[in-house]
Amino acid sequence: MSTGPHPARYRGAPREQPSLENWQEPPHNRWTFAHLGEIVPSAVVSRRAPHPTGAVSRLNRLAPGLPDLEARLEQSYTDAFLVLRGDEVVAEFYRDGFAPHDRHLVMSVSKSLCGLVFGSVVDEERIDPAQRIVQYIPELAGSVYDGPVVQELLDMVIQVDYSEDYVDPASEVQTHDRAGGWRPRRAGDPADDYAFLASLRGDGTVGRFQYSSAHTDVLAWLIERVTGERYVTALSERLWSKLGADRDATITVDPTGFGFANGGVSCTARDLARVGRLVLDGGIGPGGRAVSQEWIDATFAGGDPAVMDDHFPGGFENGSYTRQWWCMGNERGNISAIGIHGQNLWLDPRTDSAIVKLSTWPEPDTDEWHRVHSRLLLDVCLELEAW
Amino acid sequence: MSTGPHPARYRGAPREQPSLENWQEPPHNRWTFAHLGEIVPSAVVSRRAPHPTGAVSRLNRLAPGLPDLEARLEQSYTDAFLVLRGDEVVAEFYRDGFAPHDRHLVMSVSKSLCGLVFGSVVDEERIDPAQRIVQYIPELAGSVYDGPVVQELLDMVIQVDYSEDYVDPASEVQTHDRAGGWRPRRAGDPADDYAFLASLRGDGTVGRFQYSSAHTDVLAWLIERVTGERYVTALSERLWSKLGADRDATITVDPTGFGFANGGVSCTARDLARVGRLVLDGGIGPGGRAVSQEWIDATFAGGDPAVMDDHFPGGFENGSYTRQWWCMGNERGNISAIGIHGQNLWLDPRTDSAIVKLSTWPEPDTDEWHRVHSRLLLDVCLELEAW
């Protein structure tokens, strides 16, 4: 178990951590020269020959029942769309300018990835979801997290003074962005994401669903605390290395190197579908078991619809949220990872299918946009079932 | 040909370019969601299972003549060392904590990569090295680059008020770092690397070698200007996609997305050896021709030793510099790409070998460190020749 506030980017080094100020100096350079993209924004220099211009559209197998699918994808700002049924990619679409091997920001789909990593830590009994959060992270004493138990984080039933209004500069989500490196810093901002999380307050009530990106980052902090590893490392070792992934994923990091677990992952559509495959397969991937069948079963079983607010995305009356996944509560048993601007990893157990949709809606999210996606995803499920 | 000061990160978009302020908003999100690492520092989430701890050392074929090789590698802060003879990796070493698939910052080895890309543009007659720089980039009027011709950039024989003292905060190389995103910005700094380059002054003389990182970035700017592509794209399409590379490279970018051509590339040791293979093969790689045999021949032929200062790294009396490569002027005909803190891509035509050494010296460079490397690299060549 780490003794510091969080795992250092590297071990055996001075307390001082690498930064934009010192990364060129010893001893930091032994680590930073292999991780410079964590310090200085960096572009990918592709090893692949240039991708031919024009969209990639392999939707013909869905076309009989969904002749307007491509138009619907284009109208909903789709960058990538993929249907993986069993082990077969039965449909795929990439807009002009976005290649199948390109990574795409998945926003809050990242939360569902964190949920799976967290499950692996629970499986190992390194953490007990029934225990209080501050038992593991004393630094959160006095914050909104001083009192609630870990399971309440997983299911997002902690009331917190945190506005998730993405376009309001005064909202906590924008302060969170600034602490996490997603927006230019302002005077008085918390030094890093950990400090931001410790600054959050609430009225002490639990039990009603309130979606908050902060909760996921506390889960990632818990993972770091009980494993002694960076969240970046845990995400690789406990999930990404199990997938048989084509490409590495990336995750944005705050100034201390803390991965932005709530929304910072980028990956290819195909690799995200592999996450869906692993979940549909009860937690096992080509690289081995990531998380227990029990954790997966509990995720599919869903949470308590009675604690939900009235903003379940896509308008599912019996929808619920548990373990960082949205559970539709419909008879198909669909669950989905969902991110703003139109990111979905939608699982359909009935047809053994994972559907990925990566988009760039012009708005973060609206009820209508979620309904457009829900209709499209359900239509695809029905078409798959009709085969 | 681009009409703006430099190629936009993307086309068909407003003049405003993506930034930390606006990247989450439309229309920027269509581009930024696929390139977030260029805006927000990001970590790699490896798709590979954890690398076993301990060094990787496959030096036995060199051991008969060089029994102390591993000790010499460790003493010179080696992270990765590789000898590619023909198409065969005959020796390889990775220190504990640095895996064969890890990318490593190559510092000014990046310059030599830029030289190859530049050659490809000359081959296509898009640019004439005998023409004046400002004929292509009028924005450089009034700067030190107003007067000299392109070949003088390639060979670094332009006197410029530019101190390459890496540890002096008042040096131009540190201002360059700040403009390129490598150090925290200060009030009054140039807005970006282009503005920094245009701010440079000199006494108007040419003909004597003066190593300056700025010159390479002007070459990259020229590549952008005459191709209409970002340097990042040119580096991929004209070089990296020709190598049969295992992994993408990365390059740090300034706030406008301009790749830091003088020193910002990170790649694996194996892929850097593939660059060496391509050069030894006269400009052709598995992905096709990158640059002409003529350009490669001119590089191996070397520049004019008479114009050199007395600081040729490693102490080669007849050493010279041309087309962004160091030419040893020895009877073996060695040339090398060299970066501070101990980066080398050393080519030995006599044994058809490329030797890569990626290191993290505690100092940027000293004459003694360069001599340590030269002795080691020459000893390896002699051992290869003795087989």
**In angstroms, what separates the C-alpha of A242 from chain B's closest C-alpha?**
8
Tell which of B9, B23, B31, B40 to mutate to test the A interface (max A CBs under 10 Å).
Answer: B40
Count of CB pairs separated by less than 8 Å, A with B: 221
What are the beta bridge partners of residue A92?
A58, A82
Question: Which residues on A lie below 8 Å from B184 (Cβ)?
Answer: 20-21
Would you list the DSSP string of A138-152? Answer: GGGTTSTTSS-BHHH
What is the reported pLDDT for B15?
54
Q: Is A263 near chain B, with CB under 8 Å? A: no
Tell which of A38, A40, A176, A229 to mutate to test the B interface (max B CBs under 10 Å).
Answer: A40
> Over the stretch A143-170, which tens digit does the pLDDT of each residue have?
999 999 999 999 999 999 999 888 888 8
Give the integer Cα–Cα distance in Å for A299 and A333. 11
Residues 354-373 of B with CB under 8 A from A: 358, 360, 362-364
Which of B2, B46, B108, B236 is flagged as catalytic? Answer: B108
Q: Tell me the ipTM for this assembly.
A: 0.94
What is the reported pLDDT for B119?
98
Nearest to B243 among A38, A47, A360 (CB): A47
Which of A2, A19, A76, A108 is flagged as catalytic? Answer: A108
Asked if A251 lies within 8 A of B39 by C-beta distance, the reply is no
Nearest to A42 among B183, B247, B253 (CB): B253
- The Cα-based distances of B27 to A88, A98, A169, B15, B33 in angstroms read 34, 15, 19, 11, 11
Question: Which residues on B lie below 8 Å from A98 (Cβ)?
Answer: 34
**In angstroms, what separates the C-alpha of B125 from chain A's closest C-alpha?**
21
pLDDT exceeds 70 at position A14: no
Q: Is A301 near chain B, with CB under 8 Å? A: no
What is the reported pLDDT for B303?
96
What is the reported pLDDT for B150?
98
Q: Is B102 near chain A, with CB under 8 Å? A: yes
Q: How confident is the model at residue A15 (pLDDT cuts 50, 70, 90)?
A: low
The continuous run of DSSP H or E covering A31 comes out as helix A29-32
Q: How confident is the model at residue A12 (pLDDT cuts 50, 70, 90)?
A: very low
Asked if A241 lies within 8 A of B49 by C-beta distance, the reply is yes
Asked if A45 lies within 8 A of B103 by C-beta distance, the reply is no
Average pLDDT over residues A203-227: 97
Among chain B residues, CA nearest to A96: B30
What is the reported pLDDT for B375?
97
Q: How confident is the model at residue A10 (pLDDT cuts 50, 70, 90)?
A: low
What is the reported pLDDT for B51?
86
Catalytic residue status for A108: yes
Give the integer Cα–Cα distance in Å for A226 and A1. 6
Question: Which residues on B lie below 8 Å from A29 (Cβ)?
Answer: 341, 360, 362
Q: First-to-last CA distance in chain B?
A: 51
Owner of token pair 């269509």: B30
Identity at A116, one-letter amino acid code: L
Give the integer Cα–Cα distance in Å for A374 and A329. 13
Average pLDDT over residues A6-17: 61
Owner of token pair 């299972």: B49
CA neighbor of B383 nearest in space, from B337, B351, B340: B351
> Over the stretch A334-370, which tens digit does the pLDDT of each residue have?
999 999 999 999 999 999 999 999 999 999 999 999 9
Among chain A residues, CA nearest to B42: A252
CA B237 from chain center: how many Å? 16
Among chain A residues, CA nearest to B77: A30
Nearest to A105 among B33, B251, B358 (CB): B33
What's the token pair of residue A134? 């501050």
What is the reported pLDDT for B232?
97
> Over the stretch A35-92, which tens digit does the pLDDT of each residue have?
999 999 999 999 999 888 899 999 999 999 999 999 999 999 999 999 999 999 999 9
Q: Could you tell me which residues come within 8 angstroms of residue A14 by beta carbon, excluding any fewer than 6 positions away?
A: A27
* Beta-carbon-side half-sphere exposure of residue A31 (alpha carbons within 13 Å): 19
> Over the stretch A217-276, which tens digit does the pLDDT of each residue have?
999 999 999 999 999 999 999 999 999 999 999 999 999 999 999 999 999 999 999 999
Asked if A24 lies within 8 A of B264 by C-beta distance, the reply is no
What is the reported pLDDT for B1?
33
Nearest to B29 among A21, A249, A341 (CB): A341
List chain B pLDDT tens, one digit each, 387 residues: 333 455 667 654 445 789 999 999 999 999 999 999 999 999 999 999 988 889 999 999 999 999 999 999 999 999 999 999 999 999 999 999 999 999 999 999 999 999 999 999 999 999 999 999 999 999 999 999 999 999 999 999 999 999 988 888 889 999 999 999 999 999 999 999 999 999 999 999 999 999 999 999 999 999 999 999 999 999 999 999 999 999 999 999 999 999 999 999 999 999 999 999 999 999 999 999 999 999 999 999 999 999 998 778 888 999 999 999 999 999 999 999 999 999 999 999 999 999 999 999 999 999 999 999 999 999 999 999 998
- The Cα-based distances of A299 to A93, B28, B80 in angstroms read 29, 35, 44
**In angstroms, what separates the C-alpha of B356 from chain A's closest C-alpha?**
15
Enter the pTM of the model: 0.96
pLDDT exceeds 90 at position A6: no
Identity at B45, one-letter amino acid code: V
- The Cα-based distances of A374 to A305, A350, B348, B352 in angstroms read 18, 16, 61, 60
Question: Which residues on B lie below 8 Å from A27 (Cβ)?
Answer: 362
Question: Which residues on A lie below 8 Å from B278 (Cβ)?
Answer: none
Q: Is B259 near chain A, with CB under 8 Å? A: yes
Residue B228 Rama label (left phi>0; alpha psi -120 to 50; beta): left
Asked if B243 lies within 8 A of A360 by C-beta distance, the reply is no
Question: Which residues on B lie below 8 Å from A42 (Cβ)?
Answer: 37-38, 42, 250-253, 264, 266
CA B182 from chain center: how many Å? 15
Q: How confident is the model at residue A16 (pLDDT cuts 50, 70, 90)?
A: confident
Tell which of A20, A22, A28, A33 to mutate to test the B interface (max B CBs under 10 Å).
Answer: A33
Average pLDDT over residues A307-336: 93
Question: Which residues on A lie below 8 Å from B47 (Cβ)?
Answer: 236, 240-241, 243, 245-249, 271
